[in-house]
Structure 1
């Protein structure tokens, strides 16, 4: 049974699905910011490189999966490791107002930035008033 709740957003544009995942997978913290033209998600993925990041949008579901490898510098030996190979997994249910065909993603210094614009019909527009 899944519990669905609203992510940090004033409208229900993104809902987080809490499901059972492998115990080895970490849930990365994600901030969701909504504006008039869409949403931006900021996910903390420390130690993740572009080739170990997998993003998928299927229907109204966004899945973030990643692996990090914190390498020990040559000539050094780790005496204690709390995080070695970390796996990240997060799933979001997206609003029908979002244009999943136009998702953009950028990974910079361990922070994934995903931008998902709203469909043109869901964006605010100014209505011109004519004088009769």
Structure 2
């Protein structure tokens, strides 16, 4: 399972708060997604089970960032989709035999995560450079915090 780096003892991302807010509904959606993925992988033949790349998620002031390590995978083999508030990163790499032992991951990969609701889904970008896929999900202007003047009579 994906793990976050730089937070002391590393635990799978599904057990961490994520994005800085507590949202029980999204935690349940993540759990439901994980259970579905578990059963889906359990039914696939051993050689066809997708692997999960190392992924880190970060919240910046104006956007959410998702970085996935995909070394040696060409951009045409990577698909990034945003379905409502679920981000899907999928793709694959064919196995190449150049020696006796293959020491890198090949085959299909898959990563899914829920993103917050305050996003501008039309401005999402994805870039693959130096083996790292960076998905930038801008926050929408509607979700920003602002101060409201209080009116009334004194």
Shorter-chain TM-score range: 0.7 to 0.9
TM-score between the two structures when normalised by the length of structure 1: 0.75
Distance 1:79 1:102 in 2: 45
Q: Structure 2: which 5+ residue stretches go unaligned?
A: 1-13, 150-154
- Structure with greater helix share of residues: 2
Calculate the aligned-residue CA RMSD, in Å: 2.8
Query: Which of residues 103, 114, 117 is equivalent to 1:96?
Result: 117
Give the strand-richer structure, 1 or 2: 1
| Structure number with higher relative contact order (C-alpha < 8 Å, ≥ 6 residues apart) | 1
Match of 1:36 in 2: 61
Contact 1:36 1:124 in 2 (8 A): no
Whether 1:107 and 2:128 are equivalent positions in the alignment is yes
Are 1:53 and 2:85 an aligned pair? no
Alignment of 1:1-132 (within 5 A): 5-6=15-16, 8-11=18-21, 16=30, 17-18=33-34, 19-20=37-38, 21-22=40-41, 24-69=49-94, 71=96, 77-83=98-104, 85-125=106-146
Task: Provide the TM-score with structure 2 as the length reference.
Answer: 0.65
Aligned residues: 122
- Flag structure 1 segments of 5+ consecutive residues without an equivalent: none
Report the alpha carbon displacement of residue 123 of structure 1 after superposing the two structures with TM.
Answer: 2.5
